[in-house]
Structure formats: structure tokens, C-alpha cells
Amino acid sequence: MLSPFRAQLSTLWTSVVLLAVAYLALPPVHRAIAAKSEGDEGFLTSILATHLLVISPALTLVVSAAAGYRYGFVWALIPLTALAWLPAVFFTYNSSALAYTPLFAVIAALGLLVGRGLRRVFRRSSQPR
């Protein structure tokens, strides 16, 4: 018998892997795009800032909302999201991006709440009256 936390881990691994890939794989793609723009140093900075401030939080919200819809409010996704973000901090950004770790945890919690709410709404509306 699995412990409750291990059972949650076994259901959430796809969400965590998807977030980790998005956090780690997209910035090198952005760097490759920026390398095509010759001589514009600010372009890479603006692309990475957009990834940090817009794309990563949006992906976190969408993935955690999908997990919340599918599994309900699974609290284990909150610290796992923060843990998935940590390698990106050191490989892509610098230590100043550590300040965004709690932000991603809060966004994951909000996404789980949104997904759980949508689950309740759609499950309630699909039941016969």
C-alpha cells in the first residue's frame, strides 16, 4: 500500500515532468531564436524576461489547473512545482530568480483551485436532475 504522498506523486508525475521540461527546455529555444538576431543584446534579455514573467507562470497555471480538474486539489503539486523550477534557476537564470519560486508555488495552488472548481461545476452540471 502506498502512502498518500507517494500515491499523489504517482498520479502527478506527468504534470511535474511537463513543467520541468517547460522550465528547462524553452529558455534554450529562446536563446537560439535570439542568436538569429545578430547584434541585439537586449533581445535575449527581453525574451528570457518574457519567459520568466509570462510564459512560465501561464504554463504553471494551465498545467496545475488541468491537474486540479483531473485529480482535485492535490497539495503535493505545490512543492513539486517549486522543486521543478529550481534547476531552471541555476541553469538558465541566476540566483535572483529564486525569488520567483514561492510565486510559482502560489500560482500552482491557484491553478489547482481553479481546476477543482471547474471539476465541481462540470461534474455537477453533468448529473441528471
Whether 15 maps to a domain, the answer reads yes
First to last CA, the chain: 38
Whether 71 is covered by a domain: the verdict is: yes
Domain count, the chain: 1
pLDDT digits (tens, 9 = 90+) for 62-112: 999 999 999 889 999 999 999 999 998 988 888 899 999 999 999 999 999
For residue 32 the three cell numbers come to 537560439
More confident residue, 5 or 24: 24
* Domain presence at residue 62: yes
Q: Domain range holding 88?
A: 4-25+56-126
